[in-house]
Structure 1
Amino acid sequence: MLLHLKGVLTPEELATARGLLADEALWLDGRTSAGAQASAVKRNEQLAQDSEAARRLQALVRAAVGRDPLFFSAALPRRLYNPLFNRYRPDAPAYGPHVDGAVLHSHADDAWVRTDLSCTLFLSDPQDYDGGELTIHDTYGTHRIKLPAGDAVLYPGTSVHEVTPVTRGARLASFFWIESMVRSDEQRRLLFELDMNLLRLRQQLGETRETLALSGVYHNLLRLWATP
């Protein structure tokens, strides 16, 4: 499942994030955090994880996704890898096709996270840079994603993906991974679809015996499949 999350950051939060990611921020060669396979195709910059700017931004992003009901419904998060931040410019332009590691260790909070889901939160407006599409390859084809600043995309961690070369301007983003309470992508998708349709039924009909019964089905499936 690939999902566009709109308005994850408020305009005020977006302005704060951009200020913290200005040129004086401590940017490092992105290959310092990549494994052997990824380092061969990774050409970007990454904010130092132990910097004060990173700590403030991590708290900001965690708070934003934590209050987003669509993110919770789709991801059913059990554990989050502490958010990271990257920058693409013409002299550090791209990240070639790769697959993220299945289990990653976060030095910020010493947590091991299974990467069931990946999330990219866009911090630059699309008109501020050329290129830089997050391109996801899956069994349904190729998806090229370039979202408004403050929006995010959630997609399976199993996907082959890349960031196409930035030829003008700078592309700023946060990225992180989610270990879900429901490990199966298919089960998460079914639960999400059930939850969204229950929401629509309640908006149309109010609370009825049928919506109550379907709510019970949702929670019983979650109880069956979840590992909290």
Structure 2
Amino acid sequence: MKTIATCVEEILVSQPFLEDALTRNILNYSALAEELRDPISKMLRKPVKTGAIMMALRRYSPPKEMANKIKLNKALQNLGDITVRSDLSDYTFKNSPSLIQAHLRTLEIIKNDPHIFYTFTRGVHESNVLITTALKDQIEKFYDNEVCTAVQDHLSAITIGLPKENTKIAGLYYQFFKRLAWEGISLYEVVSTTNEFTILVEDDVVDKAFSAVKGLKN
């Protein structure tokens, strides 16, 4: 059976920014309770009083897993090098039987140049090619027979080295997404390997994004 407290918990869990602001005591309890009165009334199918919601908010205690929190803080403090690569272009192609051949042709021209930035990501229905813009003409030639659904130039990649135990830490990626969202930074693309995490942003926000990510280490 649902109660006001369980309704409050359900809403806060589904809106992590709201939960974060509440636990940091930077929200007006009275105003938030008033805002939640209608949705909670609908959830319970009966009218509820603002005072009861306010009491539930004050009593709310977010789930705390101390062991994971310690691991998370340690992982953030031990992030590896943060590198930035600019002058990148991103292509999105529909998957096809011949797409892999274009990928192999690309590998042939970059295999001896470690300075070229290149990623190829294959999804269920489409694939992404991210490459140094200097090779733009060659990429468009190799993929000439493929269906291109999107192209974006003037991109930069920020790559963060992750500690080896990162796969065992809940919420690590969320910290990056939350920090960037708080700064109002939109992500164009996300690419990751086991121990590296790369975000792709437009050039005009790369400095702001870099500062936000670097701030997580402090």
Per the normalisation by structure 2, the TM-score is 0.26
Bigger relative contact order, structure 1 or 2, given CA contacts below 8 A and separation 6+?
A: 1
Per the normalisation by structure 1, the TM-score is 0.25
Determine which structure has more spread, i.e. the larger CA radius of gyration: 2
